[in-house]
């Protein structure tokens, strides 16, 4: 196991009706805030009314910035930064999914600097301060509700890039599983694929003697696999949503990464796909992950065998470990199909004609490698994308 430091400062407020507490919690930080949300689901569900009533009751004033799109755009972030500076706002409240939360985090970093927040996404400098961010989560998926990450798409060049900083951990996140009842089945599936991917990115590591976190990761994967059919069949199954929502947060709050080094190549490759084609992140991961696995399988066959046996209940065959591992990958593909996701680029409506471009962008023109489990150069990324065709 590697040395590590672990602290996740996000206060989690979990359960039925918890959005009623948002005003009280926000007022601890500021009574003059930016209320940030997406394309209208929170108005259709009645959540907007409940959140604003709670803010009013706590004496919190707000300015609204709606219209965050999935794969959130830099241009709206710039608008939010202007509003925060102009009105001297003291907190950004994100009500929505990973896209709204990531956009809020970008605004939080950009509102306290003179320069361009996009520089951070290009790796030019790191934030030293940020406004506080808080969230009311409406979809278990990205894990942004208690992560250090923000992923933004710059429409100029369609580059999708991430920043990680301890400064943008949300101060608190309200997790009410009831808020997921209104999700369309496709978004449910994308969220599930993303959560599974956050677990698998961490699972495939070169660090040895990480048995404790191996088991935690396996248990979390099994929880997601076990509960997914329930929420897809019965969208208002509170108990199943509660399991998925909490597991989804734990999957990405870095507890399960303690003492190990995750891979993250599949995420980097997927960000090129959703950056260029604007597909849902989870749908892209369902295509990339199985292909990545087939490409790196031989690097540590034992780890794949362990995963297949423990997570997918594949029968052990000591004489043919490769077959065991391949059955595990096949079961993952079957799982994605069972929740309504495709596992080939063509399922996303993507032909192979821009594979070279994606591989080139992902590796900055073959000047950097992706991943830690196996380091991938441009050629390897190209190969994985062709495997996904």
Residues that bind ligand NZQ (CB under 6 A): 38-42, 45, 70-71, 96-100, 102, 138-139, 141-144, 147, 149-151, 179-180, 182-183, 187, 190-191, 194, 252, 267, 281-282
Q: Could you tell me the smallest distance in angstroms from the CB atom of residue 133 to Zn ion?
A: 18
Q: Could you tell me the smallest distance in angstroms from the CB atom of residue 281 to Zn ion?
A: 6
Q: Is 194 in the site for Zn ion (CB under 5 A)?
A: yes
Q: Could you tell me the smallest distance in angstroms from the CB atom of residue 143 to ligand NZQ?
A: 5
Q: Could you tell me the smallest distance in angstroms from the CB atom of residue 154 to Zn ion?
A: 19
Q: Could you tell me the smallest distance in angstroms from the CB atom of residue 208 to ligand NZQ?
A: 26
Q: How far apart are CA 213 and CA 215, in angstroms?
A: 5
Q: Is 268 in the site for Zn ion (CB under 5 A)?
A: no
CB atoms within 10 A of CB 128: 10
How far CA 216 is from CA of 38, 58, 211, 220, in Å, comes to 33, 39, 9, 6
Which residues does residue 33 pair with via DSSP β-bridges, in sequence order? 62
- Provide the 3-class DSSP secondary structure of residue 285: helix
Q: How far apart are CA 125 and CA 342, in angstroms?
A: 38
Q: Is 378 in the site for Zn ion (CB under 5 A)?
A: no
**Between residues 51 and 251, which has the closer beta carbon with respect to Zn ion?**
251
Q: How far apart are CA 8 and CA 301, in angstroms?
A: 33
The span of 15-23, 158-166, 187-195, 364-372 binding Zn ion (CB under 5 A) equals 187-195
Q: Is 263 in the site for Zn ion (CB under 5 A)?
A: no
Q: Could you tell me the smallest distance in angstroms from the CB atom of residue 180 to ligand NZQ?
A: 6
The helix (run of H) or strand (run of E) holding residue 264 is: none
* The two three-digit tokens of residue 363, written as one number: 């590796």
Residue 71, binding choice from ligand NZQ, Zn ion, none, Cβ under 5 to 8 Å by partner class: ligand NZQ
Contact 195, 251 (CB under 8 A): yes
- Provide the 3-class DSSP secondary structure of residue 12: strand
**Between residues 217 and 324, which has the closer beta carbon with respect to ligand NZQ?**
217
H helices, E strands: number in the chain: 15, 8
Closest CA to 289 of 222, 165, 202: 202
The span of 7-15, 190-198, 289-297, 310-318 binding Zn ion (CB under 5 A) equals 190-198
Q: Is 25 in the site for Zn ion (CB under 5 A)?
A: no
Q: Could you tell me the smallest distance in angstroms from the CB atom of residue 214 to ligand NZQ?
A: 21
The span of 42-50, 188-196, 304-312, 378-386 binding Zn ion (CB under 5 A) equals 188-196
Closest CA to 144 of 96, 196, 77, 200: 96
**Where does this chain bind Zn ion (CB under 5 A)?**
194
């Amino acid at each position: 196991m590697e040395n590590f430091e672990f602290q996740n400062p996000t206060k989690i407020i979990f359960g039925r009706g918890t959005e009623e507490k948002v005003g009280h919690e926000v007022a601890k930080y500021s009574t003059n805030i930016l209320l940030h949300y997406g394309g209208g689901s929170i108005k259709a569900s009645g959540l907007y009314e409940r959140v604003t009533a709670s803010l009013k009751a706590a004496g919190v004033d707000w300015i609204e910035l709606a219209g965050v799109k999935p794969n959130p755009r830099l241009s709206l972030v710039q608008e939010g930064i202007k509003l925060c500076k102009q009105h001297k706002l003291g907190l950004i409240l994100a009500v929505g999914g990973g896209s709204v939360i990531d956009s809020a985090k970008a605004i939080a970093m950009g509102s306290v600097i003179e320069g361009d927040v996009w520089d951070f996404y290009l790796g030019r400098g790191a934030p030293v301060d940020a406004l506080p961010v808080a969230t009311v989560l409406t979809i278990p998926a990205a894990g942004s509700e208690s992560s250090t990450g923000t992923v933004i798409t710059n429409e100029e060049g369609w580059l999708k890039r991430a920043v990680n900083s301890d400064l943008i951990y949300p101060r608190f996140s309200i997790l009410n599983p009831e808020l997921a009842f209104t999700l369309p089945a496709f978004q449910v599936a994308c969220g599930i694929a993303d959560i599974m991917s956050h677990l698998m990115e961490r699972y495939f590591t070169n660090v040895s003697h990480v048995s404790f976190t191996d088991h935690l990761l396996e248990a979390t994967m099994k929880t997601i696999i076990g509960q997914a059919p329930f929420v897809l069949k019965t969208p208002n199954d509170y108990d199943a949503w509660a399991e998925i929502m909490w597991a989804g947060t734990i999957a990405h709050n870095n507890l399960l990464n303690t003492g190990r080094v995750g891979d993250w190549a599949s995420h980097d490759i997927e960000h090129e796909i959703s950056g260029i084609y604007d597909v849902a992140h989870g749908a892209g991961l369902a295509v990339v992950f199985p292909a990545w696995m087939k490409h790196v399988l031989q690097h540590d066959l034992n780890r794949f065998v362990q995963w297949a046996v423990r997570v997918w209940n594949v029968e052990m065959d000591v004489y043919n470990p490769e077959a065991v591992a391949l059955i595990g990958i096949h079961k993952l593909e079957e799982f994605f199909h069972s929740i309504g996701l495709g596992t080939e680029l063509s399922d996303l409506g993507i032909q192979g004609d821009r594979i070279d471009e994606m591989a080139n962008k992902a590796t900055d023109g073959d000047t950097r490698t992706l991943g830690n489990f196996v380091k991938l150069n441009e050629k390897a990324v190209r190969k994985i994308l062709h495997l996904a065709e």
